[in-house]
Structure 1
């Protein structure tokens, strides 16, 4: 019988080396497989801002499609009503034609010459014949009216069919834009949800700091402009601060001081001010929530002026105003594609509805890429 010796156990030192190698290798492999770079707060904020910007662009397109669909629906309703009235008129014409045709059938069975010979009252017959000729003429006129009515009815039905097809297309566009908006907002929310409460607070603090910085820069620019305007020319007496000097001293960017709001502008600003703190909601025109163009449209509506629904169309609602000539009540627009609008209130500030998750607020117009201003006609 051969010797069966138990294999010798590894020493404690060797066990320690093996354990370290195995565990270290596993950790290294796991780190290599799953490690992802941790996004910085700045990169998260940039992504969220971009997603919100894209969402707002889609919201304005959505509002445009919605306005188009409402207009098409109104046109479709009117043409359908026109078709119903046309069909009723055609039915009445056909009834009249049927009566005339029946009368002709009853009297045209005998040759007119024979009828005259057999008639006991030839003079009466001739009178009846004249009447029959009038009936024939009337029938011809009715036939033409019926033919024209049928042609118009066919045209109206073709127009209604085309309009309903446009309505379906507008509805499909609405659905697609709605999906895009929801997807962008969901992505932004998902990014924010990955952050801790402290990090989200830091992002909000950064936004507040950016707004404060913009306001301070604007105030400094206004102060510099004021000092420049107040400095008298060599040999000239200093003039009282009026016009542009007074305006910049009050905090405007340049040019003459904005007149204190009165009349229509006062009504517009009064309404907008009353909405401060109300939540932003995309595609909303009030009364409890607003998007950007929904707020400006509602403010002007309160003053008896109807503005187009979307910001790009509001941009065409009146003459364009130079930045230095801004007055309270003017509409101010932002970004190259003009997808954001606010209401100027003076002092280089506006009231606007910002984006989802925010409320209607006052903000310096220098915070966003300014494009221009309009004074609605």
Structure 2
């Protein structure tokens, strides 16, 4: 008959070891879990990072706009030079052909001195006619040679200019590509940060600062706005305001999307006024109104300063308000004129 023995109970020491091991495992597990799931950043932390990225991205965007404008200008210049080179080459070919005809005539004369051939003529009238033709041929040959040398010199100069312009265009193209990559990288990081927030917090982060000049980012009563001092400025204000709600897109100047300086270019272009492409260049147009927004008139360009660079611009519309294209995720809208540090105000 089989015996029934009670299992051996663990000693107190063994229980203490097992309990300590379990506690250590729980603590380690908690540490691993804490490392695997870091705390989500707060709305204020995300806003600070997104605002910094937006400033850097706007600086890069304006750099891109300037490089693109220069590249377009160089591309047009290169095309014109290449056309000139082609035309000069055709003219050079024609001149060379004319010189070949003169050389062939001399060859057909068999190397006999032309003046001797004329002297052997038995007909005086024929002699005089041939003498005149010979003088004309010599003069023509000299002119063709001179024209040929001049044309070759022009062609060489045009080729050198074309080579220099193409090299400069290549450098601007590299700048364009590098800057484009910078903008896209900052934009992707900004989106990543915003996606960590709730919809309500994202909207709050993307909202403009209110400033003290007016309240409400896009609740402007258009009927109370003062009129501009010129027809062109008033037209630009009306056109800029009509773009409200359209998305921000870096490098865009309408009609469906805009960046900050692109909105200014578009609005004034529709009013018949040409503006340079970047906010830095726009800071030098027209006449200075200073930095006090109380002196601004509708249609004035308000250039904002960020980290020592003039990388944002809005259009003053009156009542302490500007219309502008703020940043990615924030459509064209109005804001208080003093919501950002003002660098200069320009009257176009």
**Same fold? TM cut 0.5:** yes
Q: Which of 310, 318, 324 does residue 346 from structure 1 map onto?
A: 318
- 2:210 paired with 1:211: yes
The answer (yes or no) to whether the contact 1:116–1:122 under 8 Å persists in 2 is no
What's 1:230 paired with? Answer: none
1:328 counterpart = 2:280: no
TM-score norm. by structure 2 comes to 0.86
Compute the displacement of 1:109 (Å). 2.8
Q: CA RMSD in A?
A: 2.7
Count of paired positions: 331
One of 67, 78, 81 as aligned partner of 2:80: 78
Instruction: State the Cα distance separating 1:140 from its structure 2 match.
Output: 0.8
**Structure 2: runs of 5+ lacking an equivalent:** 1-5, 217-223
Aligned pairs (5 A) from 1:43-54: 43-54=45-56
For the residue of structure 2 that corresponds to 1:189, the secondary structure is: helix
Return the offset for 1:133: 2.2
SS in structure 1 of the partner of residue 273 of structure 2? coil
> Counterparts of 1:156 and 1:337 in 2: how far apart (Å)?
38
Tell me which of the two structures has the higher relative contact order, counting C-alpha pairs closer than 8 angstroms and 6 or more residues apart. 2
Give the equivalent residue in structure 1 for 2:142.
Answer: 140
Change (3 A) 1:260 1:196: closer
Q: Determine the C-alpha separation between the residues in 1 that align with 2:119 and 2:301.
A: 90
Scaled by the length of structure 1, the TM-score of the pair is: 0.80
- Provide Cα deviations, 1:224-248, integer angstroms capped at 9, x if missing partner: xxxxxxxxxxxxxxxxxxxxxxxxx
1:66 counterpart residue number: 68
The CA distance in 2 between the partners of 1:359 and 1:201, in whole Å, is 12
Q: What is aligned with 1:240?
A: none
Moved more, 19-28 or 148-157: 19-28
Superposed, which structure 2 residues align to 1:272-287 within 5 Å? 272-287=240-255
1:145–1:35 distance in 2 versus 1, CA, 3 Å = same
Mapped to 2, the partners of 1:263 and 1:33 lie a distance apart of 63
1:307-318 matches, cutoff 5 A: 307-318=275-286
Deviation at 1:48, TM superposition (A): 0.5
Partner SS, residue 215 of structure 1: coil
Equivalent in 154, 158, 174 of residue 172 of structure 1: 174
Show structure 1 runs of 4+ deviating over 6 A.
none
Aligned 8 A contact 2:300 2:345 in 1: yes
Q: Residue 29 and residue 99 in structure 1: after superposition, are their counterparts in 2 closer, same or farther (change >3 A)?
A: same
1:123 CA drift (Å): 4.4
Q: 1:339 to 1:114 in 2, by over 3 A?
A: closer
What is the deviation of 1:216?
Answer: 4.9
| Structure 1, unpaired ranges of 5+ | 218-249, 252-257
In the TM superposition, 1:252-267 aligns within 5 A as 260=228, 262-267=230-235
Query: Residue 357 of structure 1: which of 300, 306, 329 is its match?
Result: 329
Moved more, 326-335 or 96-105: 96-105
